[in-house]
Amino acid sequence: MTDRFARLALSCVHKDYPNKISHVLNSAADAATPRELYPAFYGCFDWHSSVHGHWLLVRILNTDPETPYADAIKTALAQSFSEENIAGEVAYFQAPDRASFERPYGTAWFLQLMTELREADFPEAAEWAGTLAPLETLIADYTSAWLPKLVYPIRAGTHNQTAFAFGLMIDWADATGNTAFREQIAAKSREFYSGDVSCPLGYEPSGEDFLSPCLMEADLMRRVMDREAFAAWLTAFLPLIPQDGNGDWLAPGVVLDPSDGKLVHLDGLNLSRAWALEGIASALPEADPRRPALLASAALHKETGVASVSEEHYAGSHWLASFATYLETRRGLSAE
């Protein structure tokens, strides 16, 4: 299964166009091509998709070292992860008015990439982690400076959502032993979300969501609460989770035009819902009567979501394989 995901990532990590940039120009000199702006992460249509496309490739080496694409993956990663390229990425972030670039979604995925490199046991990984470390440090520092100034959570179903990003950031902190950063994220998570009740899951999804605001919040909170406290919090937060074991209580999102870059977000929603539902279930006591319904819905969303991953339309092919790999390899659960 993951071999086809590897092919999709390999086909885009060094594909220049089409490309959508999010770019602050400080002068006419800043008008440049994506490859010139972001010399490591210019492919896959946008910076964050390039980052999690690279993450996908490292993840496959970690979970399927015998993949027939191992040599191609290592060649592609070596091309991206040069000292010169990462110096260019760092310089981009350090330019005026760019501290918020790709915050928090893209920067969270970059930390997830670093998690994967630091947990890898193939010999190139340690060298690449060292090469990428300056950008890792910069992103962690920028995030730590931002958090005290963030007064409210961002509850969107797209890139700006804080709950999803915080979850990836906590997993990176756990993998790297950065306890101070972990506690900073955990404290902000509790501040934002511990008092939430009756999340309106019935209002989801919005028409361009790829992250569930309700389910991603719960998937975050399992990381910062003990099992009993989380089970009680979930009762108040999502009181309508059934106890009959059926999976049809939450319908997968529907995409009528997979060539539309915004509408196809809902294919990603099905994948991210599936991993969030699995994560929520994993944090509940074994005998909790909600677990069967959570897992049944996860299976339904997984079946729908994985079937949508195809190379037919670049609107989805440049990113959906990363979401599918995160789900299929149980990345969100492996930190437990």
For 97-122, write each residue's pLDDT tens digit.
Answer: 999 999 999 999 999 999 999 999 99
Structural domain contains residue 116:
no
Average pLDDT of the residues in 184-211: 98
Q: Is position 272 within any domain?
A: yes
Q: Is a pLDDT exceeding 80 seen at residue 335?
A: no
The amino acid occupying position 78 is: A
What's the confidence (pLDDT) of residue 292?
A: 98
- pTM equals 0.97
pLDDT higher than 90, residue 8: yes
The yes-or-no verdict on residue 250 having pLDDT over 90 is: yes
Residue 336 has pLDDT above 90, yes or no: no
Nearest to 167, CA basis, from 264, 283, 66: 283
User: Residue 2: pLDDT band by 50, 70, 90 thresholds?
Assistant: confident
Distance CA 305, CA 324 (A): 8
Domain count, the chain: 1
Give domain status of residue 95, yes or no.
no
In a domain, residue 217? The reply is yes
Q: Phi, psi at residue 50, to the nearest 5°?
A: -65, -45
pLDDT level of residue 228 (50, 70, 90 thresholds): very high
- Is position 324 within any domain? yes
Average pLDDT along the chain: 97
Instruction: Specify if 74 maps to a domain.
Output: no
pLDDT of 215 reads: 98
If we measure between CA atoms, which residue out of 143, 133, 154 comes closest to residue 180?
143
Residue percentage of the chain with pLDDT more than 70: 99
- The string of pLDDT tens digits covering residues 180-194 is 999 999 999 999 999
**Residue 322 located in a structural domain:** yes
How sure is the predictor about 82, in pLDDT bands with cuts at 50, 70 and 90? very high
pLDDT band (50, 70, 90) for residue 1 = low
Number of residues that make up the chain: 336
**283, 227 in Cβ contact below 8 A?**
yes
| pLDDT of 60 higher than 60 | yes
SS3 track for the chain: CHHHHHHHHHCCCCCCCCCCCCCCCCCHHHCCCHHHHCCCCCCCCCHHHHHHHHHHHHHHHHHCCCCCCHHHHHHHHHHHCCHHHHHHHHHHHHCCCCCCCCCCHHHHHHHHHHHHHHHCCCHHHHHHHHHHHHHHHHHHHHHHHHHHHCCCCCCCCCCCCHHHHHHHHHHHHHHHCCHHHHHHHHHHHHHHHCCCCCCCHHHCCCCCCCCCHHHHHHHHHCCCCCHHHHHHHHHHHCCCCCCCCCCCCCCCCCCCCCCCCCCCHHHHHHHHHHHHHHHHHHCCCCCCCCHHHHHHHHHHHHHHHHHCCCCCCHHHHCCHHHHHHHHHCCCCCCCC
User: Hey, what amino acid is at 139?
Assistant: I
> Is 30 a member of any domain?
no
Q: What is the pLDDT of residues 288-311, one digit of tens each?
A: 999 999 999 999 999 999 999 999
The whole domain housing 326 covers: 200-330
pLDDT tier, 316 (very low <50, low <70, confident <90, very high otherwise): very high
